[in-house]
Structure 1
Amino acid sequence: MHVPDGFINAPVSVAAGVAAAAAVAVSLRGARRELDERTAPLAGLVAAFIFAVQMLNFPVAAGTSGHLMGGALAAILVGPYTGVLCVSVVLLMQGILFADGGLTALGVNITVMGVVTVVTAHLVFRGLLGILPRTRRSVTVAGFAAALLSVPAAAAAFTAVYAVGGTTDVPLGKVLTAMVGVHVLIGIGEALITTATVGAVIAVRPDLVHGARGLATPLKLRVDGALVDAPAAAATAPAAGRSAKKVWATGLVTALVLAGFVSFYASADPDGLEKVAADKGIDRNVEEHAAAGSPLADYGVKDVEDARLSGGLAGVIGVGVTVVAGTGIFWAVRRRTTDAPAATATSTPVA
């Protein structure tokens, strides 16, 4: 649902840009409470993974495809504030380097695809966890519902923005029906990808999943014959650090394979917004992208004739740039932790 230049008029685009900038500013402050030395690299990886999976358009109806938006996935894995930043980084890289999503429409895209999806998913996810048992299965169920509902919510948000600032006169009721209808189908794919990814991370490191905090059984130590919770420092033990690095490496390799190889087999059909725009006449005033001359425009490397190689190289470059940019941002805003004084064990003298 990348909105191109020309769909929304200048005043509303500027207003959406201001709203998006405010949301990013608030998220930068909020992300400081969500990120630390362990989770900041994971957040960069989440951004890169979203970039990679967004290249994998899947068919949802006759002549229509869809792709992951990633708001729900990011909110569950790294938290809502960091989730907004993850999607914003992806949209920024796509707009500047790959001419995907208009530059004048960047504020609209961040607001619709980033803020709306993350906020909707977070509210649904937390609401369901409040009434479901605190188990891993509940996290999966809540994540499925959150991801499913976040996509049509974004479609409705776009329609609302278009109602205020659209550049063509079209029947908005029909646009809303078409947008929400096709994006409900896309939402099913979003939900399946989200739950599969969250489930895979929970299976190996539930402590790294923001939405699953509190599910892990605390480590117990026997002290003077009694079982007590291990100190919080145990979570940063060398074994835990090695495990986190393994998760990060596995995720990065997966993202590279998806973007560099699997993306070649993605559906070539227009996505939900492109299809509705063509059918309803929304795209009559679409403008050429300002970065259309980029060496990576349209997810291909300029002057590389082989389509498979060109697309694969573009995907790998995109994943690399996104993970570096994202990790740098998240590492800069992370919460600094200070080493707690070493605890000393004491025992009662025995006569």
Structure 2
Amino acid sequence: MHVPDGFINAPVSAAAGVVAAGAVAVSLRGARKELDERTAPLAGLVAAFIFAVQMLNFPVAAGTSGHLLGGALAAILVGPYTGVLCIAVVLLMQGVLFADGGLTALGVNITVMGVVTVVVSYALFRGLVLALPRTRRSVTIASFVAALVSVPAAATAFTAIYAIGGTTDVPIGKVLTAMVGVHVLIGIGEAVITMLTVGAVIAVRPDLVHGARGLTAPLKLRVGGALIDAAPVDTTPAPAPAAPRSSRKLWIGGVATALVLAGFVSFYASASPDGLEKVAADKGIDSKVAPHAAADSPLADYGVKDVSDARLSGGLAGVIGVGATLAVGSGAFWAVRRRRSASADASANADA
């Protein structure tokens, strides 16, 4: 759903840029509370993983494909504020390095693909987690539903922006119907990917999943054919706290997975236009699309310039993209975490 330059006029693009900048600023402050020495590396990994999976377009209808947006996945794994930052990093790298998504439309893309998906999905996710039994299965079910709804919500948000600042005269009702219709199908793919990823991380490191924090299921005993909560065990005197578990294995496995997806599996992705591209072509939205400012980038269109072999070119571009996103994202999140530590130390010194 990457919006190119020329779809939205300059004033509305600028306004969306202001909204996106404000959302990023708020998220930078909020992420200080979400990130620590364990979750900061995971946040960089989430950004790189989303970049990789976004290269895997999957068919959803005749001549149409879709790809992960990632807002729900990021929000559930690392928190809503950090999730917005993850998507912003991914979109920035895609726009600057790969000419994917317009530069003047960067604010629109962050607002639609980052802010809307994160806010809608996380609000729905939290509501479902509170309503459902407090189990790991409930978290995965809630992640499926939240991701599913977030995609047509983003499509609706784009249509609203287009209704205000679209550069072509197209009946908005038809655009909305087409956008929501195809993105409901894309949302199913988004939901499956999100559910499987969240479930996989919960299976090995539930303590690192932001959306599963505080998730504890009491020990059950079967008495007279019925399950009842077991009485808590008296642990007095309390044992010494265990050292925090390292997330190195998860990080290494996640990076390896992202590299394989972007460097190899992406070659087999659907070549059909994605939902927005298909609707834009069918409805005439793309009649005033502008050339991308980074069209001459050596990595434009997810290929390495002057590398003739398509498989090698795309694979190298994917690997470079994962590495660049990981480096930029990890650096940004470590800086946010250090800012949190500095603020905490300043507060402690002031209290002393």
Whole-angstrom CA distance in 1 between matches of 2:242 and 2:285: 56
Q: Does 1:284 align with 2:287?
A: yes
Question: Aligned residue for 2:306?
Answer: 303
Question: Aligned residue for 1:62?
Answer: 62
Whole-angstrom CA distance in 2 between matches of 1:90 and 1:216: 33
1:223-267 deviations in whole A, cap 9, x for unaligned? xx941596795251xxx11xx100000000000000000000000
TM-score when normalising by structure 1 = 0.91
Question: Aligned residue for 2:35?
Answer: 35
1:17-49 deviations in whole A, cap 9, x for unaligned? 000000000000000000000000000000000
Task: Please say if residues 134 and 217 of structure 2, whose CA atoms lie closer than 8 Å, have aligned partners that are also in contact.
Answer: no
Question: What are the equivalent positions in structure 2 for 1:1-351 lying under 5 Å apart?
Answer: 1-216=1-216, 226-227=234-235, 234=242, 236=244, 240-241=245-246, 244-334=247-337, 335-336=340-341
Give 2:8's aligned amino acid.
Answer: I
Give 1:271's aligned amino acid.
Answer: D
The residue matched to 2:111 in structure 1 has which SS? helix
Question: Aligned residue for 1:221?
Answer: none
| RMSD of Structure 2 on Structure 1 (CA) | 1.6
The residue matched to 1:302 in structure 2 has which SS? coil
Give 2:119's aligned amino acid.
Answer: V
Whole-angstrom CA distance in 2 between matches of 1:209 and 1:216: 13
The residue matched to 1:130 in structure 2 has which SS? helix
Question: Which structure 1 residue ranges, 4+ long, deviate > 6 Å from structure 2?
Answer: 229-232
Task: Please say if residues 28 and 336 of structure 2, whose CA atoms lie closer than 8 Å, have aligned partners that are also in contact.
Answer: yes
Distance 1:229 1:235, change over 3 A: farther
Whole-angstrom CA distance in 1 between matches of 2:237 and 2:151: 41
The residue matched to 1:65 in structure 2 has which SS? strand
Distance 1:67 1:303, change over 3 A: same
Whole-angstrom CA distance in 1 between matches of 2:234 and 2:72: 41
Distance 1:163 1:246, change over 3 A: same
Task: Please say if residues 47 and 329 of structure 2, whose CA atoms lie closer than 8 Å, have aligned partners that are also in contact.
Answer: yes
Distance 1:231 1:178, change over 3 A: farther
Whole-angstrom CA distance in 2 between matches of 1:23 and 1:99: 23
Distance 1:228 1:299, change over 3 A: farther
Task: Please say if residues 207 and 216 of structure 1, whose CA atoms lie closer than 8 Å, have aligned partners that are also in contact.
Answer: no
Whole-angstrom CA distance in 1 between matches of 2:105 and 2:70: 19
Whole-angstrom CA distance in 1 between matches of 2:270 and 2:20: 30
Distance 1:228 1:136, change over 3 A: farther
Extract unaligned runs of 5+ from structure 1: 219-224, 339-351
The residue matched to 1:234 in structure 2 has which SS? coil
Give 1:120's aligned amino acid.
Answer: V
Extract unaligned runs of 5+ from structure 2: 219-232, 346-352
The residue matched to 1:137 in structure 2 has which SS? helix
Task: Please say if residues 206 and 216 of structure 1, whose CA atoms lie closer than 8 Å, have aligned partners that are also in contact.
Answer: no
TM-score when normalising by structure 2 = 0.91
Whole-angstrom CA distance in 2 between matches of 1:284 and 1:213: 48
Identity %: 81
Distance 1:230 1:162, change over 3 A: farther
Distance 1:76 1:231, change over 3 A: farther
